[in-house]
Chain A
Amino acid sequence: MTAIVTNDLRFRYRTDAPWSVAGASLQVEPGEIVLLEGESGSGKSTLMRVLAGLAPAFHGGEAAGEGLIAGVDLRTAQPAEIAQRAGFLFQDPETQVVMAEPLRDVAFSLQCHGAPAETILASARTALERINADHLIGRRIDQLSAGERQRVALAAVLAPEPALLLLDEPTAQLDDDSACELVGELRRLADLGLAIVIAEHRHDRVGHLTDRVIGLRHGSLVSPKTTVPLTPLASTPALTGPPLVALDSLTARRGERIVVRHATASLQPGQVAALLGPNGGGKSTLLRTLAGLEPTPDGRLLVDGLDLTASGAESRVPLVAFVPQDPGRTLLCDTVRDEVLLGPRTLGCDLAVAEQMLAALDLVHLADRNPRDCSVGERERVAIAAAFALSPQLLLLDEPTRGMDLAHRATLVRLVRKHAARGGCAIVATHDLDLARACADRRWLLVDGRLETAGETP
């Protein structure tokens, strides 16, 4: 049975709005892996939601056209009925979780699919083992890192072995090893007859395993663009003299757990460090500590000669600006423009810089829109613009390319290098080695709570 057949499928969030999915005619056969590519906001996630039967059921709006998902008619079937045939991985793994503990969460999928009670826990454990996440069993999901959460979400989708997998950015939060393992597992499943549709900006990770690539522009299916990897920009020669940023035997902890011990490193003005390491290695905690959101139990942080160890985040801005992981969830204002201008207005910074950042990050056409109506990638750009708008000395970016297309990743690289050229420093925690190569001139590797800073360009 054909996994997906759609004919002139259309969807829009409001009846007076343009179609977000504009006449998609698509056919995906069992065993086929299809990659959906397109810019941020081009409608990839929306199309996936329509195929999963979740739009318009949960989002309102208007749908038209025809679609069969593993033989089930999209027009008449309930979303839960489609879910029995099509597993859907949300772009944000946080959204995917239903239970509080990984094994229970994966078991929930199997329970919903009516698996026999006596096999459920064993099957759930196997699903977690398949993507190397069985060591997370027994931990609380809300205390896992984003990458670890994504693995749990993936296991929950894979466990019931549906006929069709719809995966929205499945490797966005994964380190390279985990992404590689996932890709191998997906190929194995496809060879067993599963149809898989993947929306992903990281073509370098999944492109080689796909059978077909389909482009999406403004909701319409088109021929895919040729993707060009990020090109490293020339790094600025670092200035000599005292370092702008110095971590002196700094310890970072999350809650009661020490995750980074005695980190010592420094950056000269104009240097950018890529903070690398496996999922759950403590990258986010270290950045949160540098930003002043977590207390520093031991060691010192000096920025521009000032000892910031004891000061909180509110006292570190605008000297230090931080874009946390998944910032789109915690935007405060009613419009994109107000969000970007909030910090500069509060701190008396130059508002012209904020306006420049709106333009640089391609947000002008969204300036009057509520950030909650933006896509994940667009929200990420709003948060990045808000950080750049403070003209900080030290910029901290935690996985800044989630949901971001190649063009905007290139823009981000340019902005980071420009910031460095003006004498600023940046620390970018990322699994995106392309990004790390393109924008950083120092490599900081965080493994087992120890920071190794010997590396040059990653």
Chain B
Amino acid sequence: MKAPVPPLLCALALIVIALATSQPLVVAAALLGALALHHAAPPPHRLMLRIALISGLFIAVLNPFVAVEGDHVLFAGPNFWLIDFEVTSEEVLYGLVAGARLATAILATSAFLRLADPDRTQALASRVAPRSALTVALSARLAPTLRRDANGLRETLRLRGTGAERGRRAAIRQGTRLIEPLVASSLERGIDISEAMVARGYGAGRLTRLPEAPLQRNEQVALLCGVVGLVVAVVLLAGVAPYEIYPLADPIATSIAFVLAGLTLGVSVLAAGSLRTRP
């Protein structure tokens, strides 16, 4: 597990870059960068990747049917209530960009949560926002605990013989069966963790801050990459490479877009390589 600041800056830079521009090349670079960071983080990989892809694709597919903009008509169809069957290339492009933004945000956030040491993240939070430290601590502890509880409940189902049923319906039935105990367990766990913190003396007075361990060389490289990424984000926010999709999409392949996309992808891959967790 790594110091929280380098992966935080890298993830933040990618999210801001993806949100700061509609330039497809740059957004695509941010998405690829987030994927690299996601693979550098410890498992589980597949679940978050699936969530990111499904969410992104959903937005990409939905946009052409709810937006009524763009000049290049690809398919002319009727309007049906809220759904617009006239699809333009700009709507498709905007949908792809929006989907990529969402997927980038999901992957980058998930990568940060899995890369950063939760204990040091908690210490950082108590330094930056002391009043939110308890919430951060609870969230940091609760997420993995609930994941373990969910696994335990699934195992109990198997041990009672209910996991033998196959098929989608059986899977849904089993999933539904887990909801209630999982909700009850999460409530119980939330109380347990806050009780444990208080029983350890949390909240009685000022918490002593532990001296932070110095960054390792690979963390320093990742930190530098994060800073460069944030500079790219600031450049984009300053409107250095403006890009409009509606009503007519600007040219995609411009030299400035290639430079910014290359820089985004380059620092992301370098950061991912530096932060990579070996099994």
Contact = CB atoms under 8 A, between A and B. Distances in A.
Interface in B112-132: 117-119, 122
Interface in B141-193: 141, 144-145, 148-149, 152-153, 155-164, 177-178, 180-181, 184-185, 188, 191-193
Contacts of A293: 155, 158-159
B193 A98 contact: yes
B161 A83 contact: no
A112 B201 contact: yes
A327 interface: yes
Nearest to A81: B204
B159 A112 contact: no
A20 to B, nearest CB: 17
Contact of B155 (A97, A104, A330): A330
Interface string A329-353: 1111010000000110011000000
Contacts of A80: 198, 201-204
Interface string A22-63: 000000000000000000000000000000101001110000
A302 to B, nearest CB: 20
Given A331-B181, A332-B181, A112 B207 contact: yes
A108 to B, nearest CB: 6
Interface stretch (A185-193, A244-252, A276-284, A312-320): A312-320
B116 to A, nearest CB: 11
A331 B156 contact: yes
B217 interface: no
A390 B118 CA distance: 41
A57 B194 CA distance: 11
A58 B187 CA distance: 12
A110 interface: yes
B208 interface: yes
A317 B141 CA distance: 33
Contacts of B1: 100-101
B200 A109 contact: yes
Contacts of B77: none
A156 B191 contact: no
B211 A117 contact: yes
B201 A113 contact: yes
Interface in A121-144: 121, 142
A253 B173 CA distance: 30
Interface stretch (A88-96, A210-218, A422-430): A88-96
Contacts of B153: 330, 332
Interface string A267-289: 00000000000000000000000
Contact of B117 (A59, A100, A332): A100
Interface residues on B, range: 35 or more
A95 B204 contact: no
A108 B195 CA distance: 14
Contact of B163 (A95, A256, A312): A312
A330 B1 CA distance: 29
Contacts of A101: 1, 117, 119
Given A314-B161, A346-B161, A58 B200 contact: no
B161 to A, nearest CB: 4
Contacts of B145: 94, 142
Interface string A369-394: 00010000000000000110010000
Interface string A198-229: 00000000000000000000000000000000
A325 to B, nearest CB: 10
Given A81-B204, A114-B208, A329 B199 contact: no
A88 B196 CA distance: 9
A256 B279 contact: yes
Given A118-B211, A317-B161, A98 B152 contact: no
Contacts of B117: 100-101
B158 A313 contact: yes
Given A78-B204, A313-B158, A95 B210 contact: no
Nearest to B144: A142
A96 B198 CA distance: 10
B205 interface: yes
A453 interface: no
A321 interface: yes
Contacts of A256: 279
A321 B159 contact: yes
B197 A98 contact: yes
B46 interface: no
A324 interface: yes
A322 B159 contact: yes
A108 B200 contact: yes
A96 B149 contact: no
B137 interface: yes
Given A327-B156, A346-B162, A98 B207 contact: no
A116 interface: yes
A107 interface: yes
A221 to B, nearest CB: 23
Contacts of B158: 292-293, 312-314, 317
A107 B208 CA distance: 10
B141 A97 contact: yes
A332 B182 CA distance: 9
A112 B202 contact: yes
Nearest to A256: B279
Contacts of A239: none
Given A120-B208, A293-B155, A100 B119 contact: yes
A112 B119 contact: no
Nearest to B156: A330
7 contacts: A52-B199, A58-B194, A95-B196, A114-B208, A293-B159, A331-B156, A347-B161
Given A96-B196, A314-B158, A346-B160, 5 more contacts: A96-B200, A112-B202, A120-B208, A331-B181, A342-B160
Interface of A: 52, 54, 57-59, 78-81, 83-84, 88, 90, 94-101, 104-105, 107-118, 120-121, 142, 156, 160, 256, 291-293, 312-315, 317-318, 321-322, 324, 327, 329-332, 334, 342-343, 346-347, 372, 386-387, 390
| 4 A-B pairs with the lowest CB-CB distances in the bound complex, closest first | A112-B201, A314-B163, A330-B152, A80-B204
